[in-house]
Each structure stands twice: as C-alpha cells, then as structure tokens.
Chain A
Amino acid sequence: MALIKLNNKAVSNATAFGSISSLGSMTFIKKLTASGSGTLSFVDGASGVVLDDTYKEYVFTFKNIHGSADNSDLTFNGSTDSGSNYNTVKTTTMFRAIHSEGGDTTLGYDTGGDLAQSTSFQSLIRSIGIDNDQCGVGTMQLFSPSSSVFVKHFIQTSNSYGSAANDYSRNQFFAGYMNTTSAVDSIRFQMSSGNIDAGDICLYGIA
C-alpha cells in the first residue's frame, strides 16, 4: 500500500464524496433596511437581486416595519419592466382578526384592504402604529414570477401593533394574483402614507 504525503491542501484524485446535507433549500438573496425610506425596491439584476426563473418561489420577510405616519399600511406593487413602472393588475382577498388591549375583538373580511383588477399598491401590513415600540412583521410568498404562461400568485401573513384608543393586535391574511403573463421582475414596497421609518425586508429564494 502506498503512502501519500500531502504537501498542500489540494485533493486531486478523489472519486467519491460523503454527503453534504447542510446547504438547505432556502437561499438568502438580499436585505434592504429602511431609514426614512420612501420606497424599497427589489429589481432583478440590480444590486445583487435575483428575481427571475432561478427560483420557483420567492419569500419576502418583513421585520419591525415602522412607518412615519400613524396607522399607515405597508403596501407593494409589481413591475414587468425592471422597475420603470409599478402597476401590475391585481385581484386580492384580505381578512383579519383584531384584539384590542381593552378586549374588543373582530374577525372578518376586510373590504378596505382588497383589490379587484386594480393597478394600485396592495396593502400588506395594515394600520401600523407610530408609537416608538409599534411595528409590523410578516412574510409574503411569490410564486413563479417569471412565468410567461400563468398569472403570478402571492400569499401573505402578517401581524401588526396598531394604535387607537385601545392599542390592538391585528393578524392579517391576504392573497391574490398579478393578472399578467408577462414576467414580473421587480417588487416595490412603500407606506400608504409617509416613509418607511425603520425595519427591513429580506428576499429569499426557495429551490
């Protein structure tokens, strides 16, 4: 049997490897951190953003989103022209549960939060309070944005800390589709009023 003396770190004659199972199928792509930001945009091919057919599903996470205007919404829209215009046609549903610190409760469809064949920005996290400790969080899945056959589905879940006579917790669920067969290559986020004062939005790809 031959003895092999290693004089560097190269391995050139290996014919088999053990399994490496720790890489995972959720890949971090990009983080945008708000600081009095009017908009936060993820544009495929810009600043390291991937938003094409590399992944079949994309996930956005929203952490500690805090607006500059009281009880404003975090909203989003899609673009099919690399961010020149954010105006995809959308049809969506939204329902939510609310419980105030004073004990009032609500569960139901939110007609003020949905869209029907509209190019407007869609509310994602509604009614975020402006107190220093108030914010909203959540996730949004976007499926096959680069499909040239199908519309583009999205599903979102969030929770926000809203401001009122009795502050409240608001658990929101919205879903819908961008009614286009053009590839969506950019997503923009902004508040319904004022700036995104703080918080961050991360983009992940799901293999």
Chain B
Amino acid sequence: MALVKYNNNSISAVTATGLASGALTHIKTLTASSSGTLSFVHGSDGVVLDSTYPIYKFEFINIHPATANTIFQFQTSTNGGSSYGVTYTNTVFLAYHKENGSGSGLNYEAGRDQAQSTAFANLCAEVARSGEADQACSGFLELYNPSSTTFVKHCISRFIKDAATTDMFDQYQAGYMNTTTAINAVRFQMSSGNIDAGKIKLYGIKDS
C-alpha cells in the first residue's frame, strides 16, 4: 500500500464528484483563425455527434468573416464528413431596425431559404456588410436527434448581427434535413473567404 503525504488539510485538485452533473454538457469548442471551414465530425478530435444526446446545440460567438458582406452557412454529412450535402428545406425570416430609427420591419427572406436543396444553408446573411472590424454575428443552432434512422432531422437557429453601419438584423432559420440516414458531421463556412475569427461551441443536452 502506498503512503500518501499531505502538507496541509486542503483538497485542491478535485474536478469530479459522484454528484449528478448538469443537463447541458460542453463537448467541443472550435476557434476560427482564418479558417476556411470549421467542422464537427463524430468520433474525431473529441467530438460526439450521435445518439449520446438527443439535442445538440451550437453556440456562435462573434463570427467575423475575412470577406465583407458574406453569408455564414452550414451543411451536414451522413458519411463522416466525406461530403456535405444533405437535402434541406427551411424557412428564413428576419426583423431589422436601423440605428437612426429610419426603418424597421419583419420580412420573409425568399432568396435565402431552401426547398429540397443540398446547398449550404444560410444561417446569417450579409455578415460584416461594410467590412468594419467590429462587425460580427452571434447566435445558436439546435440540431434534434441527428442519429435517428426513422425521422428527418430538424434544425432551428437564430442569429443577430449588425448588417452594415446602420442596420441591426435578427435572423430566424429552421427546417429539416430530409433524410432518415444518421447525420454524423456538421460543417460551417462563409459563402466567400475565410472565417477570420470567432468561436463555435458544441453542447449536448441530456435526457436522463
């Protein structure tokens, strides 16, 4: 039996207990640094994206593009990231308000939605439209039951951004990946150029 030597009465390195943990579990954070794409692939680099959790939630913090006025977009994969192009039907609408109060509104964005398309889907349009250094977008994307082999896979997102020097946009997107094959990877990218900076955090929500 080993002898343990203590030099005080503290326990300072406890990092886990037998207590029940919270239901929202951090899985992975990817930090952009002039990144062409940021991908979460199940089983790769510590990423879990299977039936372990029924709901996955991505958080986006200050996504800043290298190219002004580009679209932050996503797609999914059923083959471990070999290809990203699952058929998707979604809705996109947004509320906007100008900083000077001269205009506001709520509009469906017919040019930004998809109907049975395998293209990358629009999460946030016109990011950093005027190319200013302080412009970025932030938001979330929820992905439901990606590993289901019975149902389609629903996605719900909301993003906020300063679309130009004078506009504030609040963009809503939701839809379904029209496949009954398990989705096991998700990719994010700009429509043009790199993701210059920002963080994407992946969480799993437990149901037990």
Q: Is the C-beta of B115 less than 8 angstroms from some C-beta in chain A?
A: yes
Is A101 a contact of B116 with CB atoms below 8 Å? yes
Contact with B along A110-122 (1 / 0, CB 8 A): 0000000000000
Given A17-B14, A64-B150, A99-B175: A22 in contact with B89 (beta carbons within 8 A): no
Q: Is the C-beta of A132 less than 8 angstroms from some C-beta in chain B?
A: yes
Contacts of A138 in B (CB 8 A): 156
Contacts of B92 in A (CB 8 A): 97
A4 to chain B: closest residue by CB: B6
Is A26 a contact of B11 with CB atoms below 8 Å? no
Contact with A along B1-35 (1 / 0, CB 8 A): 10111110111111111011111110000000000
Main secondary structure of the interface of B (DSSP, over half): loop
A182 to B65, CA, bound (A): 51
Main secondary structure of the interface of A (DSSP, over half): strand
Is A103 a contact of B91 with CB atoms below 8 Å? no
Is B89 a contact of A169 with CB atoms below 8 Å? yes
Q: Is the C-beta of A98 less than 8 angstroms from some C-beta in chain B?
A: yes
Q: Is the C-beta of A44 less than 8 angstroms from some C-beta in chain B?
A: no
Contacts of B93 in A (CB 8 A): 97, 107
Q: Which of A1-25 touch B at CB < 8 Å?
A: 1, 3-7, 11, 13-18, 20, 22-25
Q: Is the C-beta of B133 less than 8 angstroms from some C-beta in chain A?
A: no
Choose from B9, B113, B154 the contact partner of A16 (Cβ within 8 Å). Answer: B9
Is B22 a contact of A24 with CB atoms below 8 Å? yes
A-to-B contact residues, CB < 8 Å: 1, 3-7, 11, 13-18, 20, 22-28, 31, 61, 63-64, 66, 97-103, 105-107, 132-139, 157-159, 161, 167-171, 198, 200, 202, 204
B-to-A contact residues, CB < 8 Å: 1, 3-7, 9-17, 19-25, 54-55, 89-93, 106-108, 110, 113-116, 142, 144-145, 148, 150-152, 154-156, 172-176, 178, 180, 205-208
